[in-house]
Structure 1
Amino acid sequence: MFTRRVAVVGTGYVGLTTGACLASLGHQVVCADIDAVKVERLRRGVVDIVEPGLSELVSEQVSAGRLSFVVGAAQAVSAGFPGEGAGELDAEIVFLCLPTPMGVGGVADLRAVEAVVEETRDLLAPGTVVVNKSTVPVGTTVRTAELLDRADVSVVSNPEFLREGSAVHDFLNPDRIVVGCDTAEAAERVAALYARLGAPTVLTDAASAELMKYAANCFLAMKLSYVNAMAELCERVGADISDVTEGIGYDRRIGQAFLSPGPGWGGSCLPKDTHALLQVADAADFEFRLLRATIDTNTRQRQRIVDKVRAAVTGRRTGSLTRVRLGLLGLTFKAGTDDLRDSPALAIAALLRQAGADLVGYDPALVAGGSDGAVDGAVEGVAREVEGVPLVSDPVEAAQGAEAVVVLTEWPVFRTLDWSAMAGVMKQPVVVDTRNLLDPATLRRAGLTGIGLGRREA
């Protein structure tokens, strides 16, 4: 079986998923992180990320001896793999899976990537291939090669297309593999890592591969902003967004995906990638008006939700929310994850709080403490507060005395709540469903008034 020695630097969503999945494909993988406590937990198979199937896969590959964890990138790339006899071998391929957060002015912050490159530059074995897996601006592959200053080391762009909440599935069932490099041999070595997956493979130059990731994410952001705008138009003309999106979704040129209205898009990728692509466009003296409108529409959507809550509670879009108690269901940026980064739910919560509302929240991913560093004040494994929103461990408690319950994250469990019990403890029987997740008939039977996005009044 074809096997490579692979080092993965970074054990976040992308790095840990990449390492575990490559190990499952038969490769020998060492993952590195600077957090010694996290590394020790991973060695014991303890995964703190909420990601379906990832914990089991890590434990399975650690037990099989194909996946290990070390502290620091230097240890991962140099003498990290068992060889014949008592010898050790260096990594053949090094994946950089590091955070590239949005910096000043929307530019991607590449300091973590550059620091690792400088740390490992003199440790890489001749012939090593360095792979940028992180989402990075166009030109980063060239910049990385310049920082390495190693003619005997190739740099390849291999962008990830993983969705939080289905990252393992997405890695093992990819729509495509993209590999960009100006050296064909290096690109083919990286592409060969995924051979067992049988996915379509796009071999291209580095700049095209880097731009491809931004192009994909920004297109999805545009699609989401478009459907939110359509939902508002439906409300104004008496149409139903569910019927509209069903009808257009059957068109194969459009498809069903990313046609669900919501409180706006967020998370660790779309916000920073849309701003980063704007920076790329500005640097190329190109006015990307469509993308700028996509971002503006998303920002406006948050205020639109707040206005909808005002109207639901007071009967007027400009009504006062001062001292109005609201129960918030869902605070993570999407279902299936405990990730709170750029969560539209938290952005809306902040606006509601600024308007004077008293908030209490419930999220099934946060009642056990949430992700490390994201949730403050965990006591006995239960988070008390997230960015000023007090948390409770039961949805009925969130509804207690509320003048409205606001569904902000599309957790499937919310569909099967005891809505009669919820109605029984609320001050006003109103549910604002910003995800169109709930069945209006179920809410009516429970004595509740359900208000969705772009839905025709029943």
Structure 2
Amino acid sequence: MHVAMIGTGYVGLVSGACFADFGHTVTCIDKDAGKIERLKAGGIPIYEPGLDALVARNVEAGRLFFTTEAAEAVKNADAVFIAVGTPSRRGDGHADLSYVYAAAEEIAGLVDGFTVVVTKSTVPVGTGDEIEKIIARVRPDADVAVVSNPEFLREGAAIEDFKRPDRVVVGTDDERARAVMRELYRPLYLNETPIQFTGRRTSELIKYAGNAFLAMKITFINEIADLCEAVGADVQQVARGIGLDGRIGSKFLNAGPGYGGSCFPKDTLALVRTARDANSPVQLIETTVKVNDERKKAMAQKVIKAVDGQDLTGKTIGVLGLTFKPNTDDMRDAPSLDIVPALQAAGASVQAFDPEGHEAKHMLKHVQFKDDPYDVAEGADALLIITEWDEFRALDLDRIKLLMNKPVLVDLRNIYKPDDIRARGFDYTSVGRA
């Protein structure tokens, strides 16, 4: 089948490359000429393990193309995917749908024959209805079916998630559209992947409800971690104890500095706004948003307490990890964006390293960026782990200790065992553990 993918960001590029790997002919479209030229030259604008090889393989096979011109690709497409950004709108927290609606207007003027228009972007309930209205206004004669097909990709594992998903959700009542979507995802039938067909509004809500639930689960275990510290319990053992219950499950029960990234912060906020507009408030999610925001800001207090309990004037803090999670270069709503400025406000000088956190250099001011963890440790009064990159899990701790002014380690991801670290002579602070 022929697919046009509007947007070459995280969702669009991964989805387009994976559809091409399924054997479809995919054209990825973006108005950013620089990005398109980079993709044509073999460059990848985001960091996602395995994506460079996947893109190169399908470009070489003649199944994956990149362009700034949508006309030909949309005209020939069986399905046109809208995979543009939906950031939080300034001022009110609603999802900014301006890029989605602009894409719908452009698509309307270009479709030829029956075409399925698919929203892959995360959009609030009712967005598909608005896209339908826009297309009908621009092209009353257009023969289209507007479908919701939310993405469930984890950054750092996106290719695996696309090719071996827990489920595929498709929101449409149009039988012709269902047939097209079944054909697009036909390779997944071989793996017996559940494909759930629902109404369009239900599909749109599934995405938000799923992300909100996971955000709530993270926030829950973080609050339990605080309780563990207060009463002398171990949050990792608590998490294991409840996670073995099949009704709860073990995923997303790792205590830490709070959630960030491209999805959870904006999607929980958008769901809160949607619910308020519908006069059906989601109070659990509202509290989740509030608690998570407060938690990220409070993490700097752990460092202050670990160093001297007062302030950090004249102290140097080494920071390992700046992206919101490992195996991505995504800095959106990363905990580091709250923690590092709070450390600086307390008087600290900050030196940091992240394997892929290049964007941090534009987002964090007055930070000394180092080349590796050992450069970060040199002269530091405390070493702070914010992101659990694998290379931070097996540091030469004896070398680290010799390089530091004081052997103080604050581990916000609990990647080390307290007894092991203390046996090496470190003053060790973690999350939810005595």
TM-score by length of 1: 0.90
Aligned positions of 1:303-452 closer than 5 A? 303-314=297-308, 316=309, 319-366=310-357, 370=358, 374-376=359-361, 386-452=364-430
Shift of 1:286: 1.7
The CA distance in 2 between the partners of 1:141 and 1:261, in whole Å, is 36
Shift of 1:231: 0.4
Q: 2:88 aligns with which of 79, 102, 106?
A: 102
The CA distance in 2 between the partners of 1:113 and 1:73, in whole Å, is 15
Match of 1:30 in 2: 27
Aligned-pair Cα RMSD in Å: 1.4
Q: Do 1:45 and 1:62's aligned partners in 2 also have CA atoms closer than 8 Å?
A: no
Deviating beyond 6 angstroms after TM superposition, the runs of 4 or more aligned structure 1 residues are none
The CA distance in 2 between the partners of 1:76 and 1:99, in whole Å, is 20
**Structure 1 residues 73 and 197: alpha-carbon distance in aligned structure 2, compared to 1, 3 A threshold:** same
The CA distance in 2 between the partners of 1:165 and 1:117, in whole Å, is 29
The residue type equivalent to 2:404 in the other structure is M
The residue type equivalent to 1:147 in the other structure is I
Q: Do 1:302 and 1:344's aligned partners in 2 also have CA atoms closer than 8 Å?
A: yes
The residue type equivalent to 1:112 in the other structure is Y
**Structure 1 residues 242 and 337: alpha-carbon distance in aligned structure 2, compared to 1, 3 A threshold:** same
Q: Report the identity percentage.
A: 47
The residue type equivalent to 1:299 in the other structure is D
Shift of 1:390: 2.3
Match of 2:77 in 1: 91
Q: Do 1:322 and 1:356's aligned partners in 2 also have CA atoms closer than 8 Å?
A: yes
Q: Do 2:78 and 2:180's aligned partners in 1 also have CA atoms closer than 8 Å?
A: no
The CA distance in 2 between the partners of 1:34 and 1:64, in whole Å, is 24
The residue type equivalent to 1:395 in the other structure is P
The residue type equivalent to 1:94 in the other structure is V
The CA distance in 1 between the partners of 2:179 and 2:149, in whole Å, is 11
Gaps of 5+ in 1: 79-89, 378-384
Shift of 1:241: 0.6
Shift of 1:357: 1.5
Per-residue CA deviation, residues 238-290 of structure 1 (Å, 9 max, x unaligned), is: 11011111111111111110000011100011000000000110011122211
Aligned length: 426
Shift of 1:235: 0.6
Q: Do 2:297 and 2:338's aligned partners in 1 also have CA atoms closer than 8 Å?
A: no
Secondary structure, counterpart of 2:393 in structure 1: helix
Shift of 1:387: 4.1
The residue type equivalent to 2:295 in the other structure is Q
Q: Do 2:311 and 2:346's aligned partners in 1 also have CA atoms closer than 8 Å?
A: yes
The CA distance in 2 between the partners of 1:114 and 1:387, in whole Å, is 35
Match of 1:61 in 2: 58
Q: 1:162 aligns with which of 141, 144, 153?
A: 153
Deviates more, 1:201-210 or 1:41-50: 41-50
Q: Do 2:172 and 2:178's aligned partners in 1 also have CA atoms closer than 8 Å?
A: yes
TM-score by length of 2: 0.95
**Structure 1 residues 217 and 292: alpha-carbon distance in aligned structure 2, compared to 1, 3 A threshold:** same
Per-residue CA deviation, residues 74-114 of structure 1 (Å, 9 max, x unaligned), is: 34313xxxxxxxxxxx1110001000000031100011111
Q: Do 2:322 and 2:360's aligned partners in 1 also have CA atoms closer than 8 Å?
A: no
Q: Do 1:262 and 1:453's aligned partners in 2 also have CA atoms closer than 8 Å?
A: yes
The CA distance in 1 between the partners of 2:162 and 2:314, in whole Å, is 46
The CA distance in 2 between the partners of 1:360 and 1:161, in whole Å, is 35
Q: 1:262 aligns with which of 239, 256, 261?
A: 256
The CA distance in 2 between the partners of 1:357 and 1:192, in whole Å, is 57
Match of 1:174 in 2: 165
The residue type equivalent to 1:35 in the other structure is D
Note if 1:288 corresponds to 2:275.
no
